[in-house]
Amino acid sequence: MGVMKAVTTTFTNAAIISSITSTVFIILLGFYLRRRGTFGENFGKVLTKVGLKSIFETDFKRHSEPRLPSTAQINH
């Protein structure tokens, strides 16, 4: 019953439902706009490259910044 409770808790969380709804809406909007011809053939590939580049740069910058010592390290 632990798994069922976890699933119920997950799908009654408003933030999770909002994220799922937003994701589905964006996918359907992209599908519609692509079918309508608003975006070119390679728009998905370009968008993927931009997204991956953005994620990589953000993650790299976050991990390459010098970290300040924590208060526990300073006190010892």
**pLDDT, tens only, 10-38:** 889 898 899 899 989 988 988 888 888 88
- Confidence band for 61, pLDDT divided at 50, 70 and 90: low
CA dihedral of 17, 18, 19, 21, whole degrees rounded to 10: 80
Q: What is the pLDDT of residue 71?
A: 57
The pTM for the full model equals 0.52
pLDDT score for 24: 92
What share of the chain in percent tops pLDDT 90? 8
